[in-house]
Amino acid sequence: MAKSVPDRFPSNEDSIGIELVGAALPRGNSIPEDKKVYETVTAQQNDSLKWLISELTITLKVPMTEIFRHPQASWKNPTEASTAKW
């Protein structure tokens, strides 16, 4: 915690996570997670995300430089939220 982002990753104790629900395809446990591709974020999800990010930046004064996609903060799958727009 002595370092600022991006020299450290945000942690659960100083961040807010926003989940966009979508499937990683193809489905099935026999396929490694890093070989799957997440579904495209829907227009409705992007509209809701834009609204929420706007509210967080205004109400909590969160600067846009402190908003990250999941793969930037904690590696999971490079396609996760890749089509999210805010």
Task: Give the whole-angstrom CA distance, residue 80 versus residue 86.
Answer: 15
pLDDT, residue 31, reads 86
From the number of C-beta atoms within 10 Å of its C-beta (0-12, 13-18, 19+), residue 18 rates as middle
Residues 40, 52: contact at Cβ < 8 Å? no
Low-confidence ranges of the chain (pLDDT < 50): none
The answer, as to whether pTM is greater than 0.85, is no
* pLDDT computed for residue 75 by the predictor: 67
pLDDT value at residue 45: 96
CA distances from 40 to 3, 17, 62, 82, 84 (A): 34, 19, 26, 8, 8
